[in-house]
Structure 1
Amino acid sequence: MATIEEAIKSKSFENESVKANINLLYTANWLHSRISGHLKPYQLSHEQFNVLRILRGKHPQTMCQKDVLQRMIAPQSNLTTLMRKLSEKELVEMGQSEHDRREYTINITEKGLAVLSEIDMLFREIGPTMNGLTVSESFHLNALLDKFRTD
């Protein structure tokens, strides 16, 4: 893969911090595009995939939309629309909350679990080649990304 300078055709940056920020944004977009290609055959968006993974983590328990939103990678997503689309694909089930009529409960279906299982197998196969990092490098990258987000 090209360096960030080659990728965006820039010879220099103001400083290494600016370069790191631009590199992070560029890499996030690159990764988003790669993952989109793998989700496309399943007609899933990143947000829908994220919701399914969250629901699988609580399965067989249901979750309310507020709890799902708190766990989402991009919590500004319109969860009502996401849920409707996932429900139309029969990947989730929604029901009225017993405690609050304005709220609904969400659960992943067996079909949703099966789709995630297929995607998981695909990601396990492409994972090591997708990012080219060793386990140790991935560990260090995760630590740096966590540090980056610390206020």
Structure 2
Amino acid sequence: MKDFDISIEQYNVLRILKGQNRTPITINGIIDRMLDKMSNASRLVDKLYFKGLVDRRQKETNRRACDVTITPKGEEVLNAISQALADRVENHLDMDNADLEQLNALLDKFRGKIMK
């Protein structure tokens, strides 16, 4: 993430926003979906906003809340990070597609066990 000047937590926020398919989400909605619930989502969104990666608009119905969406620049950065991660996995892991599918299945099984 250092190559893209964002933290893991900011990356998580961008992924959440991309998953919204341009539908605005509140800070509380982001917090509900974050991996690390202890992160300060407002601060993370502020930093992403000043980098031009997200847009935020104050809600008309609640002046203390805002709607957040990913910007086209934010999507570009997220796509570049995804490609860089895929390249690193491909270049540094001695695993074929069958191995990766098995790993993914095991991780899904693990997540299912700890989420109960």
TM band (smaller chain): 0.7 to 0.9
Query: Unaligned stretches of 5+ in structure 2?
Result: none
Give the structure 2 partner of residue 58 of structure 1. 20
Report the alpha carbon displacement of residue 87 of structure 1 after superposing the two structures with TM: 0.8
Secondary structure, counterpart of 1:125 in structure 2: helix
TM-score (norm 1): 0.65
Report the alpha carbon displacement of residue 86 of structure 1 after superposing the two structures with TM: 0.6
Name the % identity. 36
Correspondences of 1:1-151 after superposition (within 5 Å): 39-149=1-111, 150=113, 151=116
Q: Hey, which bits of structure 1, 4+ residues long, moved more than 6 A?
A: none
Alpha-carbon separation, structure 2, partners of 1:148 and 1:92 = 32
Residues 77-122 of structure 1: CA distance to partner in whole angstroms, max 9, x if unpaired?
1101101111111111111123322221101112111211222221
Alpha-carbon separation, structure 2, partners of 1:54 and 1:102 = 21
Report the alpha carbon displacement of residue 65 of structure 1 after superposing the two structures with TM: 1.3
Give the structure 2 partner of residue 11 of structure 1. none
Q: Quote the RMSD (CA, aligned, Å).
A: 1.9
Residue-pair matches, total: 113
TM-score (norm 2): 0.81
Report the alpha carbon displacement of residue 51 of structure 1 after superposing the two structures with TM: 0.7
Higher gyration radius (CA): 1
The worse-fitting range, judged by mean Cα deviation, of 76-85 and 128-137 is 128-137
Alpha-carbon separation, structure 2, partners of 1:95 and 1:132 = 46
The worse-fitting range, judged by mean Cα deviation, of 62-71 and 76-85 is 62-71
Report the alpha carbon displacement of residue 124 of structure 1 after superposing the two structures with TM: 2.5
Q: Which amino acid counterpart does residue 126 of structure 1 have in structure 2?
A: R
More helix by share: 1
Report the alpha carbon displacement of residue 75 of structure 1 after superposing the two structures with TM: 2.1
Query: Unaligned stretches of 5+ in structure 1?
Result: 1-38
